[in-house]
Amino acid sequence: MPVRTMLLLCFAPFVIGALQGCGGDDGGGDTSGGSPLGECPPDSAAQADTGYQALQTQCAPCHLSSSEGASRIGAPEDVNVDDAASVRAEAAEILAEIRIGGANGGDGMPIGSKLSDDTIEAIRVYLACDAAQ
Ligand code: HEC
């Protein structure tokens, strides 16, 4: 098989929205696409909106595209919760970070605290339903 064809096959999962690495084996063809973000539940628009709002408030000012310099407190320039392309690119990372949390010296996000389970789930739903589409 030509190398180019192999590369295409290898990266096809990314094109269809799966955020797993090359060679992942749980692509189910459902709404989650085998993504680490999980499924988008039906009728979850309100929950997704709650998740969106939580990201805007809980991750500000460090992760807003309008924040520059000291107000970012060292947050990477390419992680901005108000920038759809950034959220899409970082969706799996965002979910992983908030699941770890930053309470009790944890190295997840937000720094110094952990979001409630409900808020984490709302953000997951927002990422799975809206951001990652
Ligand atoms: C007080 C400022 C602050 C807040 C609030 C904050 N972050 Fe961060 N974030 C940082 C800094 C500083 C870094 C870089 C250092 C690190 O990764 O710990 C970072 C890194 C990240 C990264 C990249 C991690 C990596 O390893 O590449 C993600 C994703 C992220 N934050 C998501 C979030 C999300 C989602 C929230 C809100 C729930 C949030 N952060 C809240 C300051 C913050």
Q: What pLDDT, in 10s, does the model give residues 102-126?
A: 999 999 999 999 999 999 999 999 9
Continuous segment of H or E residues that includes residue 93:
helix 84-100
Res 15: pLDDT: 43
Burial-class residue 35 by CB neighbours within 10 Å (0-12, 13-18, 19+). buried
Q: What is the pTM of this model?
A: 0.80
In the DSSP assignment, the letter for residue 105 is: G
Nearest to 131 by CA among 40, 61, 30: 40
Pocket of ligand 1 (CB under 6 A): 58-59, 62-63, 73-76, 79, 90, 93-94, 97-98, 107, 109-111
Res 2: pLDDT: 61
pLDDT > 50? residue 17: no
Q: What pLDDT, in 10s, does the model give residues 28-52?
A: 445 555 678 999 999 999 999 999 9
**Closest residue CA from atom 5 of ligand 1:** 59
- How remote is the CA of residue 109 from the centroid of ligand 1, in Å? 5
- How remote is the CA of residue 79 from the centroid of ligand 1, in Å? 8
The fraction of the chain above a pLDDT of 90, given in percent, is: 71
**Closest residue CA from atom 32 of ligand 1:** 94
Strands (E), the chain: none
Q: How many CA atoms lie within 13 A of 20 on its CB side?
A: 16
Res 132: pLDDT: 72
Res 29: pLDDT: 44
| Ligand 1 atom with least separation from CA of 93 | 29
Q: What pLDDT, in 10s, does the model give residues 52-104?
A: 999 999 999 999 999 999 999 999 999 999 999 999 999 999 999 999 999 99
Q: Which mutation among 56, 57, 59 tests ligand 1's pocket best, with the greatest number of atoms within 8 A of CB? A: 59
| Residue 60 Cα to chain centre, angstroms | 16
Q: Which domains, from first to last, does the chain contain?
A: 45-133 (1.10.760)
